[in-house]
C-alpha cells in the first residue's frame, strides 16, 4: 500500500472537504426551505397544492440522485438553454449540482417535517382547539414545539446523508472529496490509497456529526 500521494495532494483533499461540506450545508439550508413549502402544501386542504407537492416528493424520492444531478447539469442547459450563475468562484456545474442537491434534499426534508408533525398525537390538536385556540395558534404553541423534538435529530441525520450522497457531484466535475480521489488515482495510478484516504475523510466528518446527533438526541429525551 502506497500512501506517498498524501504529501503531494493533502491540500487538494482539504479543499475537496470544504466543497463537500459547503454543498451539503447549502443543500440542508435551502432544502429546508423547499421542504417546508412542500410539507405545508402537502398537509394543506387545497388539492392542487397537495397534488403538486406529492408529485415533487415522489418524483425526487423515486429517481436516483445521480440522474437528477446529470439532468440538472447537462439536460436542462442542453434542452432549455438554461445558464446557471456561478457562485463562490466555482463554475456553473457547481451551481447545477447544488441546485440538484437542494431539490433532492427538499423532498426528503418535506417528509421529515410531515412525519414529525404527524408524530404528535391527534388529541393534542383536538384538545387545544377545544380550549379555544385557532388552528394556527395550536400549530404554533402546541404541535410544532413537540414536533421539533422529532424533527431536529432527523434533520441532523439528513445532513449526514447529504455529506455522503454529495459524492455523486464528482461525476459532473465538481471538485469535492470524491473528485479529488478520482483525480489523484488518475495521476498516480494508485487505485486504492486515494480512495481509502477519501473514505477516511468522509468517515471523520460523518462520525463527528453522528456523535453530535447522538448528544442532541440525548438532550432532547432528557427534556421530555
Ligand atoms: N442514494 C439515494 C439516491 O440516489 C438516496 C439519496 C438520499 N438523499 C437525501 N437527501 N437523503 O436517490
Residue 98: the pLDDT is 97
Q: How many domains does the chain have?
A: 1
- Backbone φ and ψ of 148, nearest 5°: -55, -35
pLDDT at 49: 96
Residue from 59, 104, 162, 178 to probe ligand 1 pocket by mutation (most atoms less than 8 Å from CB): 104
> Residue 217 has what pLDDT?
82
pLDDT score recorded for residue 213: 86
Domain-located, residue 43: yes
Please indicate, yes or no, if residue 86 is contained in any of the structural domains.
Answer: yes
pLDDT, position 144 = 86
* Cβ-based neighbours of 191, under 8 Å, separated by 6 or more: 185
Give domain status of residue 192, yes or no.
no
- Give me ligand 1 centre to Cα 164, in Å: 9
At 1 the pLDDT is 76
Note the pLDDT of residue 222.
61
Q: Which residues of the chain have pLDDT under 70?
A: 222-224
Residue 1 lies in a domain: no
pLDDT, position 150? 83
Report how far ligand 1's centroid is from the alpha carbon of 158 (Å).
Answer: 10
Residue 187 placed within a domain: no
Question: For ligand 1, is residue 24 a contact (CB within 6 Å)?
Answer: no
What is the grid cell recorded at 146?
Answer: 413537540
| CATH code for position 79 | 1.10.3720.10
Is residue 59 in some structural domain? yes
Ligand 1 pocket check for 110: Cβ under 6 Å: no
CB within 8 Å of 61: residues ≥ 6 apart: 107, 108, 111
Q: Is the dihedral of CA 117, 207, 104, 165 positive or negative?
A: negative
Residue 109 falls inside a structural domain: yes
pLDDT tens profile 18-66: 999 999 999 999 999 999 999 999 988 899 999 999 999 999 999 999 9
Alpha-carbon span 1 to 95, nearest angstrom: 37
Show the domain range for 139. Answer: 23-174
Query: Nine-digit cell at 48?
Result: 392542487
Query: Cell 426528503 maps to which residue?
Result: 108
Q: What is the pLDDT of residue 57?
A: 97
pLDDT score recorded for residue 148? 86
The complex's ipTM? 0.95
Q: C-alpha cell of 5?
A: 500521494
pLDDT at 223: 55
- Nearest in space to 27 (alpha carbons), one of 84, 116, 95, 85: 95
- Which residue owns the Cα nearest ligand 1 atom 6? 65
- 108 in contact with ligand 1, CB cutoff 6 A: yes
Classify residue 44: in a domain, yes or no.
yes
Amino acid at each position: 500500500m502506497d500512501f506517498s500521494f498524501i504529501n503531494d495532494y493533502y491540500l487538494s483533499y482539504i479543499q475537496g472537504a470544504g466543497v463537500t461540506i459547503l454543498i451539503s450545508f447549502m443543500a440542508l439550508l435551502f432544502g429546508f426551505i423547499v421542504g417546508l413549502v412542500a410539507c405545508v402544501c402537502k398537509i394543506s386542504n387545497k388539492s392542487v397544492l397537495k397534488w403538486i407537492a406529492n408529485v415533487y416528493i415522489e418524483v425526487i424520492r423515486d429517481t436516483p440522485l445521480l440522474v437528477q444531478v446529470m439532468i440538472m447539469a447537462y439536460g436542462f442547459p442542453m434542452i432549455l438553454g438554461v445558464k446557471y450563475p456561478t457562485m463562490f468562484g466555482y463554475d456553473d456545474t457547481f451551481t447545477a449540482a447544488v441546485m440538484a442537491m437542494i431539490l433532492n434534499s427538499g423532498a426528503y426534508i418535506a417528509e421529515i417535517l410531515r412525519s414529525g408533525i404527524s408524530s404528535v398525537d391527534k388529541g393534542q390538536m383536538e384538545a387545544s382547539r377545544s380550549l379555544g385556540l385557532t388552528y394556527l395558534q395550536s400549530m404554533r404553541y402546541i404541535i410544532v414545539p413537540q414536533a421539533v423534538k422529532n424533527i431536529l435529530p432527523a434533520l441532523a441525520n439528513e445532513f449526514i446523508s447529504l455529506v455522503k450522497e454529495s459524492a455523486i457531484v464528482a461525476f459532473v466535475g465538481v471538485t469535492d472529496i470524491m473528485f479529488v480521489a478520482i483525480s489523484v488515482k488518475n495521476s498516480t495510478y494508485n487505485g486504492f490509497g486515494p480512495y481509502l484516504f477519501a473514505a477516511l475523510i468522509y468517515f471523520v466528518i460523518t462520525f463527528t456529526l453522528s456523535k453530535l446527533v447522538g448528544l442532541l438526541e440525548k438532550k432532547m429525551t432528557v427534556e421530555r
